[in-house]
């Protein structure tokens, strides 16, 4: 088992990892930037090291400084959290070269899944349904045949992409060349890889993802799904588990396929398979090889601590939870609380002059802010996650409404009122919303 873990992250996820370490009896090292000297993750850790100036590039993304911090403090594991270096293959490799354990999958699995074409091929080979697509677009004839088969609209995506960059929807046959060329240029600029591929464009899908957990001995379990369709500009706003519209049969069918695919890969740790879901069909898009922001809703409905399990798996422990032990119970919703203007969505950094967070049965707040804390302008605007849990969805929504009303954050703008509006819409209440919800909201 690990003796000391360095947490290569900040904010609420750094606290989340700290808490898991403490419960496992593992010492913790926080890293921080100059802007984060008084951050809660620094105060809570056993040791802390400044790794650079305020910009993420020179601190939380500064691989040599982070490796040096781990070496100086004798850390035997590094947890990357999410974002920053969590899906950086080179970071995982360098850590292993220093005989420190990267708490995540093997670097080769980060690499494979970093290429969406390769990821889709692997899933396709393992009978996981994928979005119908065309990978080799060098032949105009192949493109024409593909369009004849699936019909317009289609979408161009970057092989190294994610988060919406290098994507173009094509509704008009005459736009194909322009769309491909501009997607290529954007992909080259963003990912230094201009490889793009085509997919049939699904118009009103949900975004549903399956959580998996694997140990290093080939045992894999699935932990149900999360419906993450409430998004804006590829940033998720609200996630829930289970999805209101998914039948037990469909859940079991897709979960079994995911489990088999992940087993055959020899994948280790936590992972998420992202799907579009339309007309009762799943279509695999990509796999995330990190712990995700929205992992708490899965923890609430399964009762399983995903971060502890992730750490145990990385230390080589055998999974002690069998698939039969995983019983989805009740309902959980997460609202991401952002420091941003409620209408313009422009980030709103600054000092929190008053702070009161909601509490009571079934309320969980994962946040690292406190009264008097100054939200820095250098990083993501998410300052916390409000998670509710109840026996059923309706009570879970009622709890969320109450908790949002109770949440007081003064001195900066937040999206708390926006969440209040969203959860009261008939679309959200029915559960029958899709990925277009936010673009038609107001």
Which residue numbers are catalytic? 290
Asked if 5 contacts 310 with a C-beta cutoff of 8 angstroms, the reply is no
Instruction: Label the pairing between strands 27-33 and 47-52.
Output: parallel
Tell me the C-alpha distance between 442 and 440, whole Å. Answer: 7
- Nearest distance from residue 82's CB to ligand MV4, in Å? 15
- The minimum distance between CB 321 and ligand MV4, in angstroms, equals 29
- Pick 132 or 266: Cβ nearer ligand MV4: 132
Closest CA to 77 of 97, 103, 50: 103
What whole-number distance in Å separates Cα of residue 28 and Cα of residue 17? 9
CB of 186 to ligand MV4, least distance (A): 14
Measured from the CB atom, the residue of 202 and 265 that comes closer to ligand MV4 is 202
Shortest spacing between CB 439 and ligand MV4, in angstroms = 8
Which residues, at least 6 apart from 377, have a Cβ–Cβ distance to it below 8 Å? 347, 349
Half-sphere exposure of 369 (CA within 13 A, CB side): 32
Nearer to ligand MV4, 164 or 360 (CB): 164
**Quick count: other Cβ atoms within 10 Å of Cβ 149?**
10
**Judged by CB, which is closer to ligand MV4: 132, or 349?**
132
Tell me how far, at minimum, the Cβ of 200 lies from ligand MV4, in Å: 6
Q: Which is nearer to ligand MV4, 165 or 401 (CB)?
A: 165
Angle between helices 11-23 and 306-314 (to 10 degrees): 70
Number of Cα atoms under 13 Å in the Cβ half of residue 45 = 32
Q: Contact 419/333 with Cβ under 8 angstroms?
A: no
- Nearer CB in complex with ligand MV4: 28/231: 231
User: Which residues contact ligand MV4 (rule: CB under 6 A)?
Assistant: 131, 155, 162, 164, 199-202, 207, 231, 234, 276, 285, 435
The least distance separating ligand MV4 from the CB of residue 231, rounded to whole angstroms, comes to 4
Tell me how far CA of residue 363 lies from CA of 92, 354, 386, 422, in angstroms.
35, 20, 7, 19
Dihedral angle computed from the Cα positions of residues 84, 87, 90 and 91, in that order, rounded to the nearest 10 degrees: 50
DSSP string, 159-193: TT-BTTBT-EEE-SGGGHHHHHHHHHHHHHHHHS-
């Amino acid at each position: 088992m690990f003796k000391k873990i360095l947490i290569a992250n900040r904010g609420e996820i750094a606290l989340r990892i700290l808490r898991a370490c403490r419960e496992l009896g593992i010492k913790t090292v926080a890293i921080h930037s100059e802007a984060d000297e008084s951050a809660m993750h620094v105060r809570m850790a056993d040791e802390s090291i400044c790794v650079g100036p305020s910009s993420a590039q020179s601190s939380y993304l500064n691989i040599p400084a982070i490796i040096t911090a781990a070496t100086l403090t004798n850390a035997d594991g590094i947890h990357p959290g999410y974002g920053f270096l969590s899906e950086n293959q080179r970071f995982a490799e360098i850590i292993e070269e220093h005989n420190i354990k990267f708490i995540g999958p093997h670097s080769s699995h980060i690499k494979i899944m970093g290429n969406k074409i390769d990821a889709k091929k692997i899933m396709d080979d393992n009978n996981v349904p994928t979005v119908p697509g065309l990978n080799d677009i060098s032949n105009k004839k192949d493109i024409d045949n593909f369009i004849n088969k699936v019909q317009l609209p289609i979408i161009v995506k970057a092989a190294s992409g994610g988060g919406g960059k290098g994507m173009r929807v094509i509704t008009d046959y005459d736009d194909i060349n322009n769309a491909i060329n501009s997607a290529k240029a954007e992909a080259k600029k963003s990912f230094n890889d201009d490889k793009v591929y085509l997919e049939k464009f699904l118009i009103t899908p949900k975004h549903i993802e399956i959580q998996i957990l694997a140990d290093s001995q080939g045992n894999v379990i699935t932990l149900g799904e999360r419906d993450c369709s409430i998004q804006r500009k590829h940033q998720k706003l609200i996630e829930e588990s289970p999805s209101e519209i998914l039948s037990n049969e469909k859940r079991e069918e897709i979960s079994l396929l995911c489990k088999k695919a992940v087993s055959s890969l020899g994948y280790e740790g936590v992972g998420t398979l992202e799907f579009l879901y339309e007309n009762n069909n799943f279509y695999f898009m990509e796999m995330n090889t990190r712990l995700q922001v929205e992992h708490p809703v899965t923890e609430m409905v399964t009762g399983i601590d995903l971060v502890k399990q992730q750490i145990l798996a990385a230390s080589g422990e055998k999974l002690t939870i069998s698939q039969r032990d995983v019983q989805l119970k009740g309902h959980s919703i997460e609202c991401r609380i952002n420091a941003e203007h409620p209408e313009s969505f422009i980030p709103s950094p600054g000092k929190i002059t008053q702070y009161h967070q909601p509490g009571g049965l079934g309320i969980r707040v994962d946040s690292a802010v406190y009264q008097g804390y100054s939200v820095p302008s250098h990083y993501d605007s998410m300052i916390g996650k409000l998670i509710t849990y109840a026996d059923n969805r309706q009570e879970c929504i009622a709890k969320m409404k109450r908790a949002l009303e109770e949440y007081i954050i003064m001195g900066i703008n937040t999206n708390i009122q926006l969440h209040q509006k969203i959860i009261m819409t008939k679309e959200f209440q029915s559960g029958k919303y899709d990925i277009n919800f936010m673009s038609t909201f107001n």
